Structure formats: structure tokens, C-alpha cells
Amino acid sequence: MAALAVDRRREEDEEELFGLYRDVFGHEMTEASRRRWAWQYRDNPCSDGAPEIWVAREGGRILGQYASMPVRLWWGDREVRASWGMDVFLREEVRGQGVGALLFDTWSQNVDVALGLGLTTSSYNLFQKLGYRDVGPVPFYRKILDPAAVLARRVGRAAATIAGPLLGAALRSLNPEAPEGGAGVAVRPATGFGPEYDRLWARARPSYAMCVRRDAAYLEWKYERCPHRRYARWEARRGDDLVGFAVSRHEDYRGLRLGWITDVFTEASDGAARQALLSAVLADFRQARVARAQAFSLHAGLGNEMLRRGFSRGPSPMQFCVRSRAGGNEVLADPGRWHVVFGDSDMDR
């Protein structure tokens, strides 16, 4: 019997891996994966053109893969090598035989910090069995901007027209919105990510216990070159100084216009800049007739700013597990100072 081994993906593996992907996820998801593959794995500025995809083999036969997104991670007081675990799949006949655990372990042994976000039930259970730290779920925040549109999905448009104002009044009572903050901060659409974004990252990173490097190269790749999403980008300034940015988008989903706040990044203590950015994004959502705004944030400061703007907490499906080979017990003990949002990993795909 041939020995089981795990190594990096090879060019000649492409068609067999996509065929296996199709067997597991179906034709539609496979074609979507093909369309974004080069951007997602090869063009990432942290990948050096070599996708970080681990493949399990037995003899000449591929049994499965674990694909990851490499990042540079601010971890305590320094940057370390890390990656987000993403696409994992196995041949049906080898599930439950330890192949998945071997893939997970090989991946985590080749980075300083392994990050698993938005986990399926099976992946979450395996992460826990392998001794990963359970950090999540990442808190979920939502704000209804158009009560009548939300009600119309449940009770019909005619009834929603009558009940919508009542629901709006009840929501404002339960989740009152503080007056707009952000005095002294101007927000405008961003036209690109230049060198001043590198300087913002260098200034802001020590204020977090954990955060993926958000420099110009990363932001340009993640939000300008993304082939399957179109984002609005906003920048906050005090005078001429860049002090923060936000990324958002909106879409029709099952008859409802949803607005996603994908990222809001400032120095951790700069509540005024966060308030100004949130105000700009919400104003854009209202102009686009967004019915409900949504966001994830592990950082307590950003979460509190959203609560001040009338958001409420909802059940979160975004489980988060971490394994560190770089030490950092003090980091692991303080996830409220971690900047993790919907734009991290490949959640928004």
C-alpha cells in the first residue's frame, strides 16, 4: 500500500483538483472558483506567485487539498507569517480516515499563526480536536434602514406599508442612534491606495493586538483587483492626513437590498474617525435604498461604535479558531483588541 503524503500543489495537479472540487461542490461553484483562482491564490502579494495549497496524495492519486491565503499578521508587537485556511475538500471514500487532520496539521506547521474563519461544523470540530484556540464567533451587527422593505418579505407590501413605521419606531427605541460624531474628520470616496496607506498602517498597527497587514499592496489586491466583487472605498482625513478608511458594498439578496460594511480601519483609539466613516457608509446605503446594513467585528471599539449608530447584535455564524507557533499568550487572551472583519480571509466571496 502506498504511503500517504502531503506536499505543495503542483502545476500538473490543476485538472485533477478541479475535477475533485466539482465532485464535492458541483459545477457552478467549480466554475466560480476557476474564475477567481489566479487572483485568490497566485496574485496575492504575500504568495510570491506560488499558491499555498497543500495536497494529500497516496501514490499518484490525489485524495484532497487544503488551500490557504497567506498574510503578514501583526501579532502582539511584531509581524509574523500567517495564513487563513480556506478551501478544504476530500474524496468521499477517505473521509474520517485522518487525511483532513493531516492536511490541517501540515498547513499549521508551515506558518507562525494559522487562522480559521467562517468554519463549517466539520472543520470547526476538527480544529478543536487538533487543539486550536476557539476565539469566535466573531460578533455580527445589523441595522435596519428600511423597515417596510424588511417587513414586505414576511407580510407583503401592503401590510408592510402600514406596519413599517411602527417597526421603525420600535427599533429606534430599542437601539437608539447617538448623534453623528466625527467632528474634524472629512470623509470622501477613495480613488486608490497609495503610499500614505503604508504610513497609516505603520502608525495604527501597534494599537491592535492582532491585525492582518493592511498596506497599500494588500488593499489594492483585495479591493481593487477582486474579480467577483465591486467595492466602494472611503477615506477619512484630518486636514491632509489620512486617518482611516472603510470598504463597503451592497447587493440584492432574495428580494432585499443588503449593505455590507466590509472593513473600517483606523487607529484603535480613533473613535471620531470610525464615526465619520460609518456615517459616510450609512449615508451611501440610504441613497442606494439599502434595507439592512450588516457587519462583523471582533474589535470591541468598532463594535461599540456600531452600537452607538443604532446597530444591534445578532447571532453570528462566523466561527474563528487560531493556532500560534509564535507565542503570544497575551495576544490570545485579549481578542477584543483583534481587528477581524468581514473583509478578512475569503468570507466575502
Q: Please answer whether residues 244 and 264 qualify as being in contact, where contact means their C-beta atoms are separated by less than 8 angstroms.
A: yes
Q: Are residues 211 and 309 in the same domain?
A: yes
182 and 75 in a common domain:
no
- Give the pLDDT confidence score for residue 162 in this predicted structure: 56
Of 85, 114, 134, the domain-final residue: 134
What pLDDT, on the 0 to 100 scale, is given for residue 69?
A: 95
| End position of a domain, from candidates 134, 169, 203 | 134
Predicted confidence at residue 1, as pLDDT, reads 43
Number of domains the chain is built from: 2
DSSP 223: I
Whether residue 83 lies inside any domain: the answer is yes
pLDDT at position 23 is 86
Q: Is residue 213 part of a domain?
A: yes
Residue 325 belongs to a domain: no
From first to last of its 349 residues, the chain has per-residue pLDDT tens of 468 889 999 999 899 889 888 988 899 988 988 888 999 999 999 987 789 999 999 988 999 999 999 999 999 999 999 999 988 889 888 888 889 899 999 999 999 999 999 888 888 888 888 889 999 899 999 999 988 777 766 656 655 565 556 555 665 665 666 667 677 999 999 999 999 999 999 999 999 999 999 999 999 999 999 999 999 999 999 999 999 999 999 999 888 999 999 999 999 999 999 999 999 999 999 999 999 999 999 999 999 999 999 999 999 999 999 999 999 899 999 999 999 999 999 998 7
In a shared domain, residues 47 and 164? no
Residues 112 and 151 in one domain: no
Domain end among 84, 118, 134:
134
Q: Which domain holds residue 287?
A: 140-315
Q: Check whether residue 123 and residue 144 sit in a common domain.
A: no
Check residue 35 and give its pLDDT: 87
Cα–Cα distance list, 195 to 4, 153, 204, 319 (Å):
46, 45, 15, 34
CATH number assigned to the domain comprising residue 96: 3.40.630.30
Q: Provide the residue type at 282 as one letter.
A: L
Question: Is pTM, for the whole model, over 0.85?
Answer: yes
The confidence score (pLDDT) of residue 16 equals 87
Which contacts (CB < 8 Å, 24+ apart) does range 328-336 have? Answer: 328/75, 328/76, 328/113, 330/76, 330/209, 331/75, 331/76, 331/209, 331/210, 332/133, 332/135, 334/209, 335/135, 335/209, 335/210, 335/298, 336/298, 336/299, 336/300
248/191 same-domain check: yes
